[in-house]
Structure 1
């Protein structure tokens, strides 16, 4: 029995346990909240929604209902607890949404499953790396929004508030030169740290950054400056388990708060509105546990807060009558507000995993052996140590291409000269989202991501059935600029692993197409094997207060333009794609979002 089979069995058991187990602090029966009024109703118990619920209820005068479509975070299944297994689990898991992307014209009309967290705690379970991104990203957001509160310097306290960075202990392979303690918060609920489990390629990467031009060392990738190669910061707890916001923020004392209700297994289907002299006011949420079950209504005295993510937030807005009036009328959805930017401006990272055959047999590909996984699971369960503590990658690299590749008309797509055009994940195992493990052998991979993308996609409904996924069209590689960056990234990956430094561990480039050498051949490889890194943002993007719905969906305080009583706090509001992974930005946005709510409702 191989690892894939084991994970499938674990998934089946996990689904049953996740649906059946619930503590006194959590609800599953819609009747318990039917027609109740709360000060705030939060839709979506993912990364942002959990933080919002925990922070708002710090004020005992505010009552909050958190509605989560997925299951409770209790009795978390092994693949979500063990870091190495979580990053190896596949699509169609019970804890992920598993949306299907429409055929991508830039990827040879391929389609694939897009995984985001579908459990209380959301994508904080499935995104295992903490990267804050570059300071110039947030300074551009501040400029776009007209609110300096979104600048890097203003957001650093919120990054620190969320983060519980664990300093490396005695015996760690990392030293003080691998991180900057001043760049981290150490008392927050969400644990991060330097990698625990050493990789075979770690010492070779150290030689690479010390000797090969173009691969300089970055002492801390979360310092606001990330260009170069740095040690990763995985989201792993002191006990060696994967971090998540549900466990971190929803502690027993928080769940015991009398002003917080959380209902799981509840799909929000529609927002309700009342009229006022100043326009529509959001006042309620309808939800149901399944397509054929009765609908339950709840109401908000102050605000409804959407934290359903970059795909489900625009879907729910459109289902509720907020979106392009042309789209809504075509589906006979009553128009509450013509807001044409809802579901537009989708931006995402596109990735190109490349593989090299390794000459050693001690890579993380040992986890392909079912017997070995069983042995290591027992070790990890008893000690919190071993290979199951391995992170996605122990080193990350962030790089720019020469500006000469950009034409005068399109220009440089990055937010500034310190921002990365592409990223490397140096992986000590086989990685491919499009090709299965070959069945034998050990591998080292390079995940090359285009991080400053120009391709812009959409999220639109094509039915009024809330249980049908929206049409998600990221438009990957439709921008020639993205292809140009991707070609340079592939060449740089080959320069890194082709260095004589790696001759004692790497045999040869294995896939997806080592024979692709010309620009045209590499472009064909990118289109044939490229896929997503699951970092979608922008589908309800923020714009300045003095701009209308033609420019954005939310104001800088995250309130929805054109309606009252509705706010959005999740990745959909981010108007500039971070040049790194999106977990940390969402943590910071949620922490500030909670403070914005508290300021509006003291």
Structure 2
């Protein structure tokens, strides 16, 4: 998403280095073909599961990763270089959404990490947990109180390690220390590089406090308001599940990690309690390579993500029997919900030309980038410790909004949000190159509680063919309304006095657009925040819908669980990595029985 051609040169630097010990390249290097647990995918959730299972030295764990090592990948270490990792690189699965009718038929890339750490190694590192009402609704939908916020928030202590920001500034008033842990696994921090617009943002929360109140810390469970971003960055470097959870257990005798191992299907190994058992896992390094099968004594945990997981299940004969028959796949478990219920947060950039400093000039200057890289390499400080934003906030429409006269409120609760505001001090438009001159401000309006749903389905029975991925973005009246109102809201945000001497004019849209002009702008420029969920949705054990039960076991099958973002039946009020970490922490406790 960074527009600079100078930054694209860094891809030449970002080459995978040698693997760390006990991370293997070839199946013949493994200790055997049978393990207690096999984890499919070393992403955000998979590495949590592997690490927690490996804490018990009696457990023998194999992690299968389709991609490469994260070692030596500069773009996955330097926070500001994150957008160089996707799309169209060796670090990305390079999926695309199907042409979206409500977005002028555009084909939109959907970034998914294809290296150790998965998407936690390529995302933009925003790290917050969402609304308490997300978890309480999850508990209500599943009938399992263990998913409620009162229980789930205890996993924060196990997960996070809050550390000082890279610049060491005084963080008083920017977060609430009592809500956080300093003894967990994953380092996270407040912004480590201040921007000239920071003071303007905070001033706006004071002047326009009724619409844009300041929120000191969303970890309280209350997401409403705007505050300082918290990111999976520690000591000026990205914190991924690979650099934290997995790194903590690699080298132990009870953990093997295999790269270049794309799982092609789960193998039926018998039946238990009248259910087909899937304790075999078949994988290969590519379409021309021979397959290898490994076996789990206890369980297979599929953590391949909201796209990869339903594809693997369907290839294994777990899914809608009509869809499977159409691809000449024998159905072992008729589970129609597999791949259905796909939803994603929708991103809409709103750009203004500004007078004064922004990061655009830096991004156009190879010498400045080179100097900044030298500073980062020397002491992990400077502009390169910056993510895409220092501030974000969550907001909801009033109860009296006209849309609610005909459509029920889709938020997860009465204090949950409808949309998100992300503030960036440079040109940030996915797929659109930055202007060659000028300084810009980007205010992203993101749809947080969409009602549109789509699906992931097989394109063929070839496991190396990408599946068909259609989130059906903006197909509902609410979703269209929400982004239209989001555009109006960000304009009100800039009406504060703090911006009067800074903002010049909007870009790509009229100064006072009509609703029709806003809708046209949305169709032309909206894309994704890369937060797909829902394709292996959790539901009560006996419910006729859903893919996994509240214990995350695949319904109608034995020996296999799903642990990743796909189990969320709806989108949480958060960038999805932190909620996924909490789900994985609880899943590990369920599997181990603690």
- Measured in 2, the distance between the counterparts of 1:568 and 1:597 equals 12
1:561 maps onto 2:555 in alignment: yes
Identify which of 398, 402, 409 aligns with 2:398: 402
Contact residue 352 and residue 526 of structure 1 kept, 8 A: yes
- 1:573 aligned onto 2:549: no
Quote the Cα distance in structure 1 between the aligned partners of 2:169 and 2:514.
42
**Would you say 1:528 and 2:544 are equivalent positions?**
no
> Relative to 1, partners in 2 of residues 1:170 and 1:260: Cα closer, same or farther, differing over 3 Å?
closer
Report the counterpart of residue 194 of structure 2 in structure 1: 198
1 CA distance for matches of 2:349 and 2:533? 22
Report the Cα offset of residue 576 of structure 1.
Answer: 2.1
Identify which of 453, 474, 484 aligns with 1:456. Answer: 453
Equivalent of 2:246 in 229, 233, 250: 250
Tell me by how many angstroms 1:95 deviates: 1.2
* Secondary structure in structure 1 of the residue aligned to 2:275: coil
User: 1:430 touches 1:443 (CA, 8 Å); kept in 2?
Assistant: yes
Match of 2:587 in 1: 593
Q: 1:24 — aligned with what? A: 21
CA distance in 2 between counterparts of 1:209 and 1:535 reads: 27
Q: Which residue of 2 aligns with 1:271?
A: 266
Q: How does 1:160-179 map to 2 (within 5 A)?
A: 160-167=157-164, 172=169, 174-175=171-172, 177-179=173-175
Name which of structure 1's ranges 266-275 and 561-570 shifts more when overlaid on structure 2: 266-275
Partner residue of 1:96 out of 88, 92, 97: 92
Q: Which residue of the other structure, out of 198, 207, 210, is the alignment partner of 2:206?
A: 210
Contact 1:453 1:482 in 2 (8 A): yes
Aligned residue for 1:229, secondary structure, equals strand
Aligned partner of 2:383 in structure 1 is 387
2:435 paired with 1:438:
yes
Whether the 8 Å CA contact 1:164–1:188 is kept in 2: the answer is yes
Question: Following superposition of structure 1 onto structure 2, how do residues 33-44 of structure 1 map, counting pairs within 5 Å?
Answer: 33=30, 36-44=33-41
| Partner of residue 152, structure 2 | 155
Match of residue 474 from structure 1: 471
> How far apart, in 1, do the equivalents of 2:396 and 2:446 lie?
12
Does the C-alpha gap of structure 1 residues 89 and 286 become closer, same or farther in structure 2, counting only changes over 3 Å?
closer
Q: How many residues were matched structurally?
A: 589
Which of 254, 257, 261 in structure 1 is aligned with 2:256? 261
Is residue 45 of structure 2 the alignment partner of residue 51 of structure 1? no
The 5 Å alignment of 1:492-571 reads: 492-510=489-507, 512-515=508-511, 517-547=513-543, 550-571=544-565
Q: 1:467: how far off?
A: 1.1
Structure 1: runs of 5+ lacking an equivalent: none
Which residue pairs with 1:237 in the alignment? Answer: 234
Q: SS of the residue aligned with 1:265?
A: coil
Report if the CA contact (8 A) 2:358-2:440 is conserved: no
Using the alignment, how far apart are the partners of 1:409 and 1:495 within structure 2?
A: 26
TM-score (norm 1): 0.95
The offset of 1:170, in angstroms, is 8.7
Equivalent pair of 1:34/1:298 in contact (CA under 8 Å): no
Give, in whole Å, the separation in 2 of the partners of 1:171 and 1:72: 31
2:348 is aligned with 1:347: no
Is 1:134–2:124 an aligned residue pair?
A: no
Measured in 1, the distance between the counterparts of 2:254 and 2:220 equals: 37
1:37 Cα deviation (Å)?
A: 0.5
- Tell me the SS of whatever aligns to 1:398: strand
By how many angstroms is 1:378 displaced?
A: 0.6
Give 3-state SS (helix, strand or coil) of 1:280's partner: strand
The equivalent residue for 1:110 is 106
Distance 2:13 2:468 in 1: 31
Note the alpha carbon deviations across 1:333-380, whole angstroms, 9 max, x for none.
011111000000111100100111121134354123211111110111
- Greater CA deviation, 555-564 or 32-41? 32-41
CA distance in 1, matches of 2:476, 2:285: 40
Whole-Å separation in 1 of the counterparts to 2:445 and 2:200: 18
Q: Is contact 1:317-1:323 (8 Å) kept?
A: yes
State the alpha-carbon separation in 2 of the partners of residues 170 and 328 from structure 1: 54
TM-score, length of structure 2 as denominator length = 0.96
- Counterpart Cα distance in 1 of 2:62 and 2:477: 45
Which among 404, 413, 416 is matched to residue 416 of structure 1? 413
For residues 182 and 514 of structure 1, the distance between their equivalents in structure 2, rounded to whole angstroms, comes to 45
1:409 deviation in Å?
Answer: 4.6
Cα displacement (A) at 1:584: 0.5
User: Is the partner of 1:73 in helix, strand or coil?
Assistant: coil
Contact 2:4-2:363 at 8 Å conserved across structures: no
- 1:338-377 aligned at under 5 Å gives the runs 338-363=334-359, 365-377=361-373
Q: Offset of 1:207 from its aligned partner?
A: 0.9
Task: Specify the SS of the correspondent of 1:204.
Answer: helix
Stretch deviating more after TM superposition (373-382 or 275-284): 275-284
Provide the C-alpha distance between the structure 2 equivalents of 1:125 and 1:172, rounded to a whole number of angstroms.
26
Distance 1:572 1:106, change over 3 A: same
Unaligned runs of 5+ residues in structure 2 are none
Contact 1:541 1:552 in 2 (8 A): yes
Q: Are 2:121 and 2:242, in contact at CA under 8 Å, matched by a contact in 1? A: no
Rounded to whole Å, the distance in 2 between the matches of 1:64 and 1:171 is 39
Check the 8 A contact 2:358/2:425 in 1, yes or no. no
Of 326, 329, 335, the residue aligned with 1:330 is: 326
Q: Give SS of 2:234's match.
A: coil
Verify: 1:66 aligned to 2:66, yes or no: no
The farther-off stretch of 319-328 and 408-417 is 408-417
Asked if structure 2 preserves the Cα contact closer than 8 Å seen for 1:462 and 1:471, the reply is: yes
SS where residue 280 of structure 2 aligns? strand
